[in-house]
Structure 1
Amino acid sequence: MNIEIKARDLIAEGWHEGKRLGATLRRARQMEAEGVERATLLVQLEEEFPKQLIVALPRHEPAPLAEAIEAEGDEETANVTAVRRRMHEMLRMPVVQRGAIMPDACPTGQAPATIPVGGAIAAENAIIPGAHSADICCSMFATFFPANHPTTEMMDHLQKVTHFGPGGRPRGDQWTSAVLGEPVWDNPYLGGLRSRAQDFLGTQGDGNHFSYIGRVDFTDTQRAALEAAGYNDLAKSIERRDGAFNVLVTHHGSRGLGADVYKRGLKAAKKWCRENAKDIPDAAAWLPYDSPEGASYWEALQYVGRWTRENHALLHDALLRRLGQRALVQIGNEHNFVWKRGDTFLHGKGATPAWKDAEGRPLLGLIPLNMAREILLVLGADNDDYLSFCPHGAGRNRSRTATIAPYKNDDGELDPGRVKQVLDETTAGLDIRWFNGGADLSESPLGYKDATKVKAQIDQFGLAHVVGEIQPRGCIMAGEADEQPWQRARRLKRARHKAERQDAAQELDQT
């Protein structure tokens, strides 16, 4: 009778003690139970669980970083310094080959190796969930249609079809689509999420997501540039309409569906790195593409990308139906995603792809600057120095909290009069709407970098070529929801406690 194999037997055969030893032992005992002889078992086990496991470690020095950004003044310099620090942490990871930062780069998060907005990296055979972030496939989508509707009419219809704020559409008002019927739900990263996928169809979320109505008047030179680049359908449509279009542009990601996929992917990546690497920050944990976990995650990402594009298209189609119009041209691009080019996986967190497509055409991209400025239509310059990316927007130099702080009164509340004044000054002549009722000052033009400088740096660093500018007419964003009674009670309680502490401190100072 064979004696059950033990951990010490595996160690004696050359396996190392560590987190993988338990899995190795479980597999060995499974083979024993199947009647595999000990000698054969050890040979098969070596194939599945190599003895000489190479543990991946961070590099001592970061991989190269290309900077397509030029700081002016103390605030911008501090911003770029923080961005560079986080990128260098990510670039020490053994799977990361090089990185780049865009003109709109700004830090986000305090955890080590948290990739900044406007950051891009190239990784070998590895998908890093933290490098595309929770808002998987945050993206732009534009529909060009005849320019014969007043702005107010278009905005009224748009407000009725879109949905902003937390959560999905309420029961009875949910949308459906063929994308929900795809046979993907046995994927471990998508299992059980079909209802989430339906809940969030037709929604845009909050933060910097928007629906924007604009107008573009293409010049003959721009039309010729698009035709030369291979975009004949768009060029012909421009010619037929003398260059003038209304345009709906939406900006949002994969909502709760993508957030759940991200959580599962990050959990799996952290587990893989615990077992196969050492000293890897959570934000930089990866899944090898050629592993079962990595291959499944890649397939899940592709589905999330299809779902997000469909979500954009459904919102656009809903507006067009209300207007009695049809789409003349539709284009779109991701800027929070992972793209496979050969064995290299390009990760962008707020970076617009600017390489050539499979047909050799420079990619078309949309770059919004702020609600009161034009949205740029660009042809990618395929500049490999910067991983062939361009910016995804204007970016920030300060946090949302810091942006609104100067507009608060002594009680710590935003001064409504000053907020209105700022919005009136920065968005004059535009139809600006806040879906949830209250204005979000941090999403006004006040919250973003100088759009003119960002636009200039796109040209300065050779990232893309502008071939159209969609001028603003109106914009809808989530805004701030009206304060609920419980929120008001909690706020007042905190204010009261703060006042009591200040009074107590003052009394101590006087004794």
Structure 2
Amino acid sequence: MNGHDLIAAGFKPGKNFKFLLESAKNMQQLGTPREAIFEILQELTPVEPDPIVLRTNNIPFGDFLLDSVDIKNEYQTKNYISVVEHMDALMRVPTLRGGAIMPDACPSGSALGTIPVGGVVAAENAIHPDMHSADVCCSMAITIFKRQDDPKKVLDVAQAITHFGPGKRAKSFVRQNRDLIDLIGTFADNSFLSGLEGKAEEHFMTQGDGNHFLYLGHLESTGQLAMVTHHGSRGLGAGLFKRGRQFAQKSLRGSRIPSHQAWIVADSKEGQDYWSALQKVRLWTRMNHFAIHNGVAQKIGNAVDQQFWNEHNFVFQRSDGLFYHGKGATPSFTGFSPDDSGLTLIPMNMAEPILICGHMNKPEALGFAPHGAGRNMSRTQYLREFEAATPEHIDVRFYSGIPDLSEMPGAYKDAATVASAITRHGLGNVVDRVLPYGSIMGGEFSWGHKK
């Protein structure tokens, strides 16, 4: 008996093949019948796990973008085609059980199958770092003040208290927050957070750059002064994302899954640690928002009437056990977080009202709503092809002193179109709006590398 006999019988060459061939020859010398040899070899052959591969066909996803597209507008059309191409490829990932694109969806990467901004996916027993994005827990927070105040004075105070872009907070300043220090003290026991304590301290009460902002306005319903911030978890979240992505990619090395679609098995030890790390980063981000808000309230001597917040770059586990990844998508289902107030915030751009929405839990949208107005083109393309202008009817400020023209309202989709789609599709119930007075954004920074 030789190797050709084993191959003809269905045995595949591999690291166990030599052992099988030697066993077959020994049994043949002992007079074992040929068919019996093959049966014994089957029992000696280890079962190879099925290779992890993408599905041959994608599964359907909810499309809430199409009916907002003006087919005569080449930018909107190209944006839509690109978003759908990415989702078609993405929905072949074997862990995914559902998906949707919001009315503000736009591409967020060149690798085919990258989840778009404004994308939502539900995964079974899997957490995909790239599907909640590097800006972990990017979120909105609002403070509604009890009494009126001079909005210019309030914005002046906010500009003095907050911090955008690079730079570090002094440890002596940060360590006055006891709850923060207690939270950071739990990082050492988590492999995904250990060593990131410095980032959690240095970036506290800072807000990044790009589309992050501090916005001041008045409630349409009552006229009350309201402050809204938009930012994520800064260097802390970026560090967690990097570690999670590296582990996910390493654990699927040798599979046929693209690296940007890799996942951590949720019920594994590492999956439980990553989930715990996400919750700690979420708490840090909430503290970060309201430390800024409460600092402003204290300086202006105004009492807080109401505060609430919601994340839109995060992972949520629902009662069905699936992990819902929102990348630039706002949860619109009851109980999305332990501190769910029943309301969520959806901004448009610096010159437009911020929507305050009640939950609608649209099943086809996986219970999500848009997170803003989205873009129809990249920042670079916008600056190359359009003349950006700062709105004159509101108080616009840039922390760095240099305007970021790629953040002008014209760079975003039409706010009225997106707001209309939210109502038309039942994605959220608009119960109030924050009418704009002014906004502070980061502006252009020198980060030590080319932008």
TM-score past 0.5 threshold: yes
Q: Which amino acid aligns with 1:161?
A: I
1:468 and 2:432 equivalent? yes
* CA distance in 1: counterparts of 2:305 and 2:430, whole angstroms: 21
State whether residues 97 and 124 of structure 1, in contact with CA within 8 Å, keep that contact through their aligned partners in structure 2: yes
The structural deviation recorded for 1:171 is 6.1
Amino acid in structure 2 at the alignment position of 1:145: F
> Is 1:55 matched with 2:56?
no
Aligned match for 1:280, one of 257, 273, 277: 257
Cα 1:244–1:12 change in 2 (3 A) is: farther
Gapped regions of structure 2 (runs ≥ 5) = 1-13, 21-45
The CA distance in 2 between the partners of 1:362 and 1:169, in whole Å, is 31
What is the match of residue 102 of structure 2?
102
1:184, distance to aligned residue in structure 2 (A): 2.9
Alpha-carbon deviations, 1:206-253, whole Å to 9, x = none?
0000000010032xxxxxxxxxxxxxxxxxxxxxxxx33111100000
TM-score by length of 2: 0.85
Identify if the C-alpha distance between structure 1 residues 8 and 457 changes in structure 2 by more than 3 Å, giving closer, same or farther.
closer
Once the two structures are superposed, the pairs formed by residues 25-424 of structure 1 within 5 Å of their partners are 51-69=47-65, 70=67, 71-72=69-70, 73-169=73-169, 174=174, 176-177=176-177, 178-182=179-183, 183-218=186-221, 243-274=222-253, 278-342=255-319, 343-357=321-335, 363-406=342-385, 422-423=389-390
Distance 1:78 1:10 in 2: 53
C-alpha distance in 1 between matches for 2:365 and 2:322: 15
Once the 2 structures are TM-superposed, how far is the Cα of residue 265 of structure 1 from its aligned partner? 0.2
Does the CA-based 8 Å contact 2:106-2:376 persist in structure 1? yes
Query: Does the CA-based 8 Å contact 2:212-2:231 persist in structure 1?
Result: yes
Structure 1 pair 190–362 and aligned structure 2 pair: CA distance change class (3 A): closer
Which residue is equivalent to 1:47?
none
Structure with the bigger percentage of helix:
1
Distance 2:240 2:279 in 1: 11
Q: 8 Å contact 1:143–1:331 — kept in the other structure?
A: yes
Q: C-alpha separation between the residues in 2 aligned to 1:83 and 1:455?
A: 20
- Secondary structure, aligned partner of 1:438: coil
TM-score (norm 1): 0.75
Kept in 1: contact 2:87–2:116 (CA 8 A):
yes
**SS at structure 1 position matched to 2:187:** coil
Q: Secondary structure at the match of 2:434?
A: strand
Q: CA deviation at 1:179?
A: 2.7
Q: Which amino acid aligns with 1:189?
A: F
Instruction: Classify the secondary structure of the residue corresponding to 1:398.
Output: coil
Conserved in 2, the CA contact under 8 Å of 1:105 and 1:116?
Answer: yes
| Matched residue type, 1:287 | I
Equivalent-residue separation in structure 2 for 1:163 and 1:458 (angstroms): 32
CA distance in 2, matches of 1:147, 1:404: 41
Q: How far apart, in 2, do the equivalents of 1:128 and 1:95 lie?
A: 9
Distance, in Å, in 1 between the alignment partners of 2:59 and 2:266 is 21
Structure 1 residue 53: Cα displacement: 2.5
Amino acid in structure 2 at the alignment position of 1:397: N
Q: Are 1:479 and 2:446 matched, yes or no? A: no
Structure 1 residue runs of 4+, over 6 Å off?
7-11
User: Which amino acid is the alignment partner of residue 294 of structure 1?
Assistant: G
The alpha carbon displacement at 1:379 in A equals: 0.8
The Cα offsets for residues 19-44 of structure 1, whole Å up to 9 and x where unpaired, read as xxxxxxxxxxxxxxxxxxxxxxxxxx
Any conservation in 2 of the 1:209–1:478 contact (CA below 8 Å)? yes
Conserved 8 A contact 1:354-1:362: no
Letter in 1 for 2:330: T
Q: Is 1:457 the counterpart of 2:394 in the alignment?
A: no
Note the C-alpha offset of 1:313: 0.8
RMSD: 2.5
Q: Structure 1 unaligned runs (5+)?
A: 1-6, 14-49, 219-242, 408-417, 492-511
* Alignment-mate amino acid for residue 124 of structure 2: E
C-alpha deviation, 1:55, in angstroms:
2.6
Deviates more, 1:203-212 or 1:148-157: 148-157
Identity of aligned residues (%): 41
Cα separation, 2, equivalents of 1:66 and 1:251: 27
CA offsets, 1:56-113, max 9 Å, x none?
A: 2100111111101121132211101101111122110000111100010000111132
Distance in 2 (alpha carbons) for counterparts of 1:167 and 1:59? 45
- C-alpha deviation, 1:190, in angstroms: 0.2
Q: Which amino acid is the alignment partner of residue 381 of structure 2?
A: A
| C-alpha contact (below 8 Å) 1:176/1:198 kept by paired residues | no
Q: Tell me the distance in 2 between the aligned counterparts of 1:250 and 1:175.
A: 22
2:402 corresponds to 1:446: no
> Which letter maps to 2:279?
Q
Q: Partner residue of 1:44?
A: none
Structure 1 counterpart of 2:398: 434
Partner of 1:43: none
After superposition, the C-alpha distances for 1:135-165 in whole angstroms (9 at most, x for unaligned) are: 0000000000034211110111000000001
For these two proteins, the number of residue pairs brought into alignment is: 404
Q: Report SS of the residue matched to 2:295.
A: helix
Q: Would the alpha carbon gap of residues 154 and 88 (structure 1) be closer, same or farther in structure 2, given more than 3 Å must change? A: same
Structure 1 residues 194 and 176 mapped into 2: Cα distance closer, same or farther (>3 Å)?
farther
- Asked if the contact 1:134/1:258 (under 8 Å) is kept, the reply is yes
User: Cα offset for 1:8?
Assistant: 6.4
Instruction: Name the structure 2 match of 1:234.
Output: none
For 2:85, give the aligned amino acid. Answer: R
8 A Cα contact 1:167 1:256, kept in partner: no
CA distance in 1, matches of 2:282, 2:251: 24
- Inter-partner Cα distance in structure 2 for 1:79 and 1:140: 25
1:324 Cα offset (Å): 0.6
| Residues 268-325 of structure 1 deviation map (CA, whole Å, 9 limit, x = unaligned) | 00111126xx211111100111111111111100101000001001000110010112
Whole-angstrom distance in 2 between the partners of 1:77 and 1:447: 16
